[in-house]
């Protein structure tokens, strides 16, 4: 047994010597570099940042919603505008800020927000209903009626949407505006919103 091991070792040694003499070199393993682990570290870092931003947005939105319910419209507006500068696509913040703009009589700012949302979410009943309120506020009742109807079509079981549509229909026939007196959002999650927003806030 010992003789066999020694013979095998000798053969390996002779092979190495032969390679050296012939000028051939044995292939070396590539050196380990930091570049190999950078993508993984970057991915982990991005996930941590995303989680942090999501938590921060959730906390800030809840704070703004609390101020809305307390009637602190100025601080609510500041919170929402700050949040949307950081995350312009946050759906709930955009909807709540739109209704706040209506409340503080800034319908032009509300319409600007809703135009983008309507293009992005054509099948979101809450977006159509909010847009209808904006159009009603700027004195375009016929366009508002169409948006109220669209919201009802998308979510026929929503009582608020149905009431708004009926009020808009009556106002249109009477030549007036809706003035429902009810904000559809105010922190409530609609079924239509849940179905249509598989997106970040």
Give the HSE-up count for residue 135: Cα atoms under 13 Å, Cβ half-sphere. Answer: 21
Q: What percent of the chain has pLDDT over 70?
A: 67
Q: All domains of the chain, ordered by start, with CATH?
A: 48-196 (1.25.40.10)
Q: What is the pLDDT of residue 57?
A: 84
- Look at residues 135, 128, 149 and name the one whose alpha carbon lies nearest to residue 177: 135
Residues 46-60: pLDDT tens digits? 777 678 878 888 999
Q: Which residue has the higher pLDDT, 39 or 95?
A: 95
Q: What is the pLDDT of residue 81?
A: 95
What average pLDDT does the segment 105-134 reach? Answer: 94
Average pLDDT of every residue of the chain: 78
Q: What is the pLDDT of residue 29?
A: 54
What is the reported pTM? 0.65
């Amino acid at each position: 047994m010992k003789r066999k091991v020694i013979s095998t070792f000798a053969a390996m040694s002779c092979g190495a010597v032969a390679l050296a003499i012939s000028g051939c070199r044995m292939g070396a393993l590539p050196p380990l570099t930091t570049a190999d682990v950078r993508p993984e570290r970057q991915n982990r870092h991005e996930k941590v940042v995303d989680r942090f931003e999501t938590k921060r947005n959730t906390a800030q939105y809840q704070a703004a919603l609390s101020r809305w319910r307390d009637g602190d419209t100025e601080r609510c507006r500041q919170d929402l505008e700050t949040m949307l500068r950081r995350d312009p696509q946050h759906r709930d913040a955009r909807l709540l800020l739109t209704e706040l703009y209506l409340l503080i009589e800034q319908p032009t700012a509300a319409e600007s927000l809703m135009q983008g949302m309507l293009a992005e979410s054509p099948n979101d009943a809450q977006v159509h209903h909010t847009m209808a309120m904006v159009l009603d506020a700027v004195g375009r009742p016929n366009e508002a009626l169409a948006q109220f109807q669209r919201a009802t079509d998308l979510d026929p079981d929503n009582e608020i949407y149905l009431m708004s549509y009926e009020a808009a229909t009556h106002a249109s026939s009477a030549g007036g505006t809706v003035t429902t007196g009810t904000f559809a959002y105010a922190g409530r999650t609609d079924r239509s919103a849940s179905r249509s927003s598989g997106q970040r806030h």
